Amino acid sequence: MTTQKEDRLVTLEEFIIQAQNRFPGATGELSQLLRDISLAAKIISREVNKAGITNILGYDGSTNIHGESVKKLDLFADSQLISALERSGITCMVISEENDGIVQLSSSGGKYIVYMDPLDGSSNIDVNVSIGSIFSIYMREPRFDQTLREEDALQPGTKQVAAGYVLYGSSTTLAYTTGLNVSLFTLDPSLGEFILSDRKVQIPDHGKIYSINEGSYNSWELGLKKYIKYCQEDDQESGRPYSARYIGSMVADLHRTLIKGGIFIYPHSKRYPNGKLRLMYECNPLSFIIEQAGGMATDGHQRIMDIEPTAIHQQTPIYIGSKENVSHVMDFLHEFAGKEEAEVEI
């Protein structure tokens, strides 16, 4: 039976304050940081929705540090998030996919470090397919010397104090965790507020969807090829073949995986020997979310959040999703490690 209280709409603002009140010593700074990000997300969402009619679509002519073409909306999202974080003065530096080095904010004494991918999946912008923003928050380690250095930001994912994403889809959804469950909010455009839609999202332990760019099949390791063939085999008892779904926007593919279960994979390949996706602002925050929802994320050898980073823009392979699916693909990777295709029938 639902109570009157549960029926009432809870805004993100209200939810954050309630959560903060449960910790008597809390300074409210992390809450402020989450509110800043949600404000920028509303502005980006508005712009994404009207992009087609305002001529903001398309390339701005430059390339980012990874040599990829930069789209106008990427730059817009980047500057909105940075200025939202600058405003409250509690973040000392930002590391963004769109900026080569660290971005030092005027509040250089601020205690938080924020990683972000301001607009992930940007190749989907022009075709009206879902895209997203990702964020990951760390505390700056206290030091006597106050100068900001890139090394301050090189912390493993286990040290994240909060992380989340915003999905600009058929509706705008925000998911975040501070290490106590995952909460999900939906933007009500008529109210201009994110409304709580689930306070404790749980990913199914097993799912029947696999998500990978199969165009790269020929350059995968043998264990992965065998796993994908396993997913495609007919077996009524275990519900195979599984369905293939691949949007090409990590946030959208991960959001579906969170809700429906299954696995998302971006492996290493001949083209991307270290994987394509970025550890610090794509893989760690989404791994934090998935783990908090009861799922699993690895690079094929170790837990993503245990990786000791050596560079702010480093890449990693990723296998992420429902516990059983991720454990299963790991079994395949181990079983066929070092074996050549010629030795084994696929």
Instruction: Summarize as ranges the residues that interact with Mg ion (CB under 5 A).
Output: 117, 120
- Closer by beta carbon to Mg ion, 117 or else 193: 117
Q: Which is nearer to Mg ion, 71 or 323 (CB)?
A: 71
Give the end-to-end CA distance of the chain in Å, rounded to a whole number. Answer: 52
Q: Least distance in Å: CB of 261 to ligand AHM? A: 18
Question: What six digits make up the tokens of 321?
Answer: 């999703």
Encode 154-168 in three state secondary structure: CCCHHHCCEEEEEEE
The answer to whether residue 68 forms part of the interface with ligand AHM (CB under 6 A) is yes
- 216, 326 contact by CB (below 8 A): no
Amino acid type, 51? A
Using the contact rule CB under 6 A, the part of the chain among 12-20, 117-125, 199-207, 235-243 near ligand AHM is 117-125
Least separation in angstroms between residue 250's CB and Mg ion is 6
Q: Does 213 bind ligand AHM (CB under 6 A)?
A: yes
Return the number of the residue (68 or 306) whose C-beta is nearest ligand AHM: 68
Q: Which is nearer to Mg ion, 140 or 313 (CB)?
A: 313
10 Å CB burial of residue 286 (0-12, 13-18, 19+) is buried
225's CB contacts (< 8 A; 6+ apart) are 217, 341, 346
Among the residue ranges 202-210, 222-230, 248-256, 337-345, the one whose residues contact ligand AHM (CB under 6 A): 248-256
- Residue 276 Cβ, how far from ligand AHM at the closest point, in Å? 6
- Enumerate residues 6+ apart whose C-beta is below 8 A from 302: none
Under the binding rule (CB under 6 A), the answer on residue 78 touching ligand AHM is no
Pick the closer one to ligand AHM by CB: 256 or 276.
276
Q: Which stretch binds ligand AHM (CB under 6 A): 50-58, 120-128, 315-323, 330-338?
A: 120-128
Phi, psi of 238 (to 5 degrees): -100, 10
122-149 burial, b at 16+ Cβ within 10 Å, e below that, comes to bebbeeeebbbbbbbbbebeeeeeeebe
CA distances from 145 to 37, 141, 151, 236, 299 (A): 28, 11, 13, 63, 35
Least separation in angstroms between CB 269 and ligand AHM? 9
Binding residues with ligand AHM: total (CB under 6 A): 12
Q: Applying CB under 6 A, does 122 fall inside the site for ligand AHM?
A: yes
Selection from Mg ion, ligand AHM, none that 213 binds (CB < 5 to 8 A by kind) is ligand AHM
Residue 122 interacting entry, from Mg ion, ligand AHM, none, C-beta within 5 to 8 Å by type = ligand AHM
Q: Which is nearer to ligand AHM, 174 or 252 (CB)?
A: 252
Instruction: Show the tokens assigned to 164.
Output: 């989340």
Which strand (E) or helix (H) includes residue 184? strand 183-188
DSSP state of 218: G
Among 78, 117, 221, 291, binds ligand AHM (CB under 6 A): 117
CB of 299 to ligand AHM, least distance (A): 15
Bond prior to 118 in cis (omega within 30° of 0): no
Q: Can you tell me which of 42, 226, 268, 276 binds ligand AHM, judged by CB under 6 A?
A: 276
DSSP bridge pairs for 132: 120, 167
- Three-state DSSP class for 124? helix
The region of 116-124, 288-296, 308-316, 330-338 touching ligand AHM under the rule CB under 6 A is 116-124
Residue ranges that bind ligand AHM, judged by CB under 6 A: 68, 97, 117, 120-122, 213, 248-250, 266, 276
